[in-house]
Amino acid sequence: MKFSGRILSLLFLLTLLGVVESFKIGNIFNDNFDTCPPNNCEGDISVVVDASSDGLTQQLFQKEKDLIKNNLSSTWNDYTRIYLTWYDKGTTSVNNFGSPYDKDEFDKIIDAIPYDSGTNITKVLQFLSGNSPDTKYQSTIVFISTGTSADILNSKPYADDLKSRGALIFVILGNILTKDILSFLNPTAVVIWDFRDETAQSVVDGVVNNLACASKCSNGGTTTPGTQIFTGFPTLAHTTTPPSHVFTGFPTIAHQTTSPVHGYTSFPPNGHSTIPPSKGPYVPAKADIIFSLAASSTKISIDQFIAQISLFQTDDVLSKSYTHYERFGFVAYSDYPQAVVQLNEVSNRTVVQHMIVNGINQGDGNSLTNLVLGLADKNFLNYTPKTKQKHYIFLDNLDIGDLLTARDEITNLLKNKQVSVYLISFNSLIDQEILSTFQATGTFEWDITDETNSDLIKFISKTIK
């Protein structure tokens, strides 16, 4: 098989970063299902056609349809198991599983699919999640050429549902789409097509080798040989991702509003593999810059969670002009804080962005107090000695007792004149009058319905220097 130029470039880049060993390349199958020749695969299949002019010219749209008609559909012999859907700004479906269907009718429907503006991956995955029959072995094949980060991240719950039914396979058409964002959806496989005729069969192989099948292989068929395809993004679980550090205890609190809790146990000394100090200039500032993201699965809405992640996937906050990304740290917290990007261990901006998308584990609870205690613990983050610290903390839906104890801990943190603390609250359940008593370095109320986030970006850009 021949790799596309963009895949080779990505592989080369990751080789330089020392993470290429974590790519899944080779003979890939879904371990939960028997694998047989494609024509013997008795699973049901949803085919989702990208019909948007936003990412496809008329000519490329036709090539997509030809790939499905002439290459992909040749692996099927039972069209009653095919569910055909297409999308632009809306979603249209043709048939349910089990409807009368044959190859000629299938091709005519593909040829007749209209071409229009707009794209909405959330809407189409939501539609499939709510309308696909509840069958045991179901594969969803989504062709996609473009999409915003917010749209793709918003589709997460529906992607999870579709994958849980069997397999979720994305076929990226061209090179417009930001590939790293798709990894947030944790699909079964991602296959990339560069529109060349000679790579079409490799795309088909990559799809059929990842289908969820119920085949018994009673005819003595043999497993279809695998193809080398791009089936995921680097997990960064080898040399670039530090071990996650989690709190092992709670603080002792004297406030009457809070029930008694266990005594706080600090982190043990760690063995961080620190990057050797590098020379300036330091842009935006000669400081450790730490963003703490609210990751509670019970207290933070999915929109709020996704909005935080999306904020760091563009140049607006994590600018390409910034230097020394090893001075940027990212923490996620629910009941306890976790170091997602450890200070002084990762110096590449793209890798930092990838770790933000893939490294956050949501959990129950929502303790600002435990977060601040962790940030104050010298063994939690690998702070640069004798260097300023700038902390940006996202927060919402906190208990009043937690707010009051966290306020005291933030006051203690700010006794170190090298430390600045900026509180970013969502405009919903936090009493702004209470936040005003924190004496934080700065506060900001974030309206996530503002798609540009212009005011928040200005706030961070002004204070980060």
Q: Do 328 and 459 fall within a single domain?
A: yes
Strand partners, 443: 423
Residue 183 is predicted with a pLDDT of 76
Residue of higher predicted confidence among 423 and 436? 423
Select from 174, 209, 244 the last residue of a domain: 209
How far apart CA 456 and CA 389 sit, in angstroms, is: 20
Sequential DSSP letters for 309-327: HHHTSSTTTS-TT---GGG
**What residues make up the domain containing 205?**
45-209
pLDDT digits (tens, 9 = 90+) for 371-409: 999 999 988 999 999 999 999 999 998 888 898 899 999
Per-residue pLDDT at 170 exceeds 90: yes
**Model pTM score:** 0.52
pLDDT digits (tens, 9 = 90+) for 112-133: 899 999 999 999 999 999 887 7
- The least confident of 201-215, 379-393, 424-438 is 424-438
| 217 falls within a domain | no
Per-residue pLDDT at 2 exceeds 60: no
| 244 falls within a domain | no
Check residue 186 and report its DSSP letter.
Answer: -
Q: Do 205 and 338 fall within a single domain?
A: no
| 275 falls within a domain | no
Q: Which residues contact 442 (CB under 8 A, 6 or more apart)?
A: 420, 422, 423, 459, 463
User: Would strands 442-446 and 138-144 be described as parallel, antiparallel, or unpaired?
Assistant: unpaired
Select from 148, 181, 209 the last residue of a domain: 209
Percent of the chain residues past pLDDT 90, beyond the cut: 43
Q: Do 295 and 170 fall within a single domain?
A: no
